[in-house]
């Protein structure tokens, strides 16, 4: 079985015609026909039903198409991965970040990175949460990503960037608005705005409420930070927000919790491979800004 045969087979499936597939592939129609016939002979199966006016896949052909597409995609992914080792200058870094990092920290980060590395392109990809970042790293869909974590001490393949904590954001005329800090026990009966399940904000809100002995009333679950802020400012509910997101003097009161809800922002990369030469340049830049590599 050859990659060329899989490519021809997938093209015929997509265009539903041998002649159109040959034209698309810039080869002769007999070449496409022979490649597919050789594939069917090797598999000892008929992949196309040729008895109709328009060719269509057999049951076996439909199953084989899924495998052929995955093989070709894996080959393309492998080629892209190897290209990143070919040169120490220039290239693309695929960088996955959660919405809060993208909205509040990435613009300044990007400007500093671009000034220091004008030959490197950052392919920014928004990820819903740390689990999504880690999954894409494991599947080689990202080179680096950002995680928000509670316990970073034993994380491998990571670089600590900075510590932060969640503040409770309240409407400006809330009964607790004049307080300097507040405990979760005092928030029983409040309506909360949560970020989607899987986010650290969602986890810490539910955990804090559970430890305080109540289940929070959830008004809305959304990843849109602007929506959260507007609803809090409009006296609809309360919400936990990282301290770094409330430094722009919003129209609501923000205060630390007692005990504080601290977390750490870390840069992470794949557990299954070492960074390329290009990746090491990116890692050295981030290390120079924030800290020391943990492993």
Total residues found in the chain within this entry? 295
pLDDT at 152: 60
Q: What is the pLDDT of residue 295?
A: 40
Q: For the chain, what is the radius of gyration of the CA atoms?
A: 26
In whole angstroms, give the CA distance from residue 283 to residue 113.
11
Q: Which of 61, 33, 35, 56 is nearest to 46 (CA)?
A: 61
Give 150-194 pLDDT, tens digit per residue.
Answer: 876 656 788 999 999 999 999 988 999 899 999 999 999 999 999
Mean pLDDT of 80-108: 77
Confidence of residue 276 (pLDDT cuts 50, 70, 90): confident
Asked if the domains at 91-162+265-290 and 164-262 fall in one CATH topology, the answer is yes
Report the first-to-last Cα separation within the chain, whole angstroms. 41
C-alpha span between 214 and 185 (Å, rounded): 8
Return the pLDDT at 195: 92
292/168 Cα distance (integer angstroms): 30
Residue 147 has a CB neighbour count (10 Å cut-off) of 26
* 3-class state of residue 29 by DSSP: helix
For the cut 70, the answer to whether the pLDDT of residue 86 exceeds it is: no
Identify the pLDDT of residue 294.
44
Q: Looking at residue 184, what is its pLDDT?
A: 95
Enumerate the domain spans of the chain.
Answer: 3-83, 91-162+265-290, 164-262
pLDDT single digits (tens) 21-75: 888 888 888 988 899 899 889 989 888 888 777 788 888 888 988 898 889 888 8
Position 274 pLDDT exceeds 60: yes
Say what angle helices 59-83 and 3-15 make with each other, to 10 degrees.
120
Name which residue leads in pLDDT, 9 or 53. 9
Alpha-carbon dihedral angle through residues 37, 41, 43, 47, given to the nearest 10 degrees:
40
Q: What is the CATH number of domain 91-162+265-290?
A: 3.40.190.10
Query: What value does the mean pLDDT of the chain take?
Result: 86
Classified as helix, coil or strand, 112 is helix
Q: DSSP E strands: which ranges in 78-216?
A: 91-97, 120-126, 144-149, 158-170, 191-194
Distance in angstroms (rounded) separating the CA atoms of residues 260 and 96: 28
Res. 248: pLDDT tops 70: no
C-beta separation of 21 from 35 below 8 A: no
- Tell me the per-residue pLDDT of 197-214, one tens digit each, with 9 for 90 and over: 989 999 999 999 999 999
Confidence (pLDDT) at 250: 59
> How are beta strands 191-194 and 56-57 bridged, if at all?
unpaired
Q: Are 263 and 148 in contact (CB under 8 A)?
A: yes
Percent of the chain scoring above 70 in pLDDT: 92
pLDDT score at 100: 85
CATH 2.60.40.150, domain 3-83, yes or no: no
- List residues bridging with 169 in a β-sheet: 239, 254
User: What is the pLDDT, as a whole number, of residue 233?
Assistant: 87
pLDDT score for 95: 94
Distance CA(167)–CA(229), nearest Å, equals 13
**What pTM value is reported for the model?**
0.65
CATH no. of 164-262 = 3.40.190.290
User: What's the burial of 93, exposed, middle or buried (CB within 10 Å: 0-12/13-18/19+)?
Assistant: buried
């Amino acid at each position: 079985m050859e990659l060329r045969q899989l490519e021809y087979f997938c093209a015929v499936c997509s265009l539903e015609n041998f002649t159109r597939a040959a034209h698309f592939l810039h080869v002769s129609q007999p070449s496409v026909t022979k490649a597919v016939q050789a594939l069917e002979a090797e598999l000892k199966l008929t992949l196309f039903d040729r008895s109709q006016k328009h060719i269509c896949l057999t049951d076996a052909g439909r199953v084989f198409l899924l495998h052929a597409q995955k093989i070709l995609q894996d080959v393309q992914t492998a080629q892209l991965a190897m290209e990143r080792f070919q040169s120490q200058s220039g290239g693309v870094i695929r960088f996955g970040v959660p919405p809060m990092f993208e909205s509040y920290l990435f613009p300044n980060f990007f400007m500093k990175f671009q000034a220091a590395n004008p030959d490197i392109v950052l392919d920014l990809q928004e990820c819903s949460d740390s689990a999504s970042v880690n999954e894409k790293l494991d599947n080689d869909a990202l080179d680096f990503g950002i995680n928000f974590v509670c316990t970073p001490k034993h994380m491998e393949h990571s670089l600590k960037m900075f510590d932060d904590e969640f503040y409770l954001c309240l409407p400006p005329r809330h009964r607790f608005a004049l307080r300097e800090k507040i405990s979760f026990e005092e928030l029983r009966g409040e309506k909360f705005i949560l970020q989607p399940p899987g986010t650290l904000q969602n986890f810490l809100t539910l955990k804090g409420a559970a430890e305080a002995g109540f289940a929070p009333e959830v008004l809305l679950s959304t990843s849109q930070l602007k929506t959260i802020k507007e609803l809090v400012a409009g006296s609809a509910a309360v919400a936990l927000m990282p301290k770094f997101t409330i430094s722009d003097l919003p129209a609501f009161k923000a205060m630390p919790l007692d005990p504080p809800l601290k977390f750490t922002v870390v840069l992470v990369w794949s557990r299954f491979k070492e960074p390329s030469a290009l990746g090491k340049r990116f890692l050295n830049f981030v290390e120079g800004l924030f800290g020391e590599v943990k492993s």
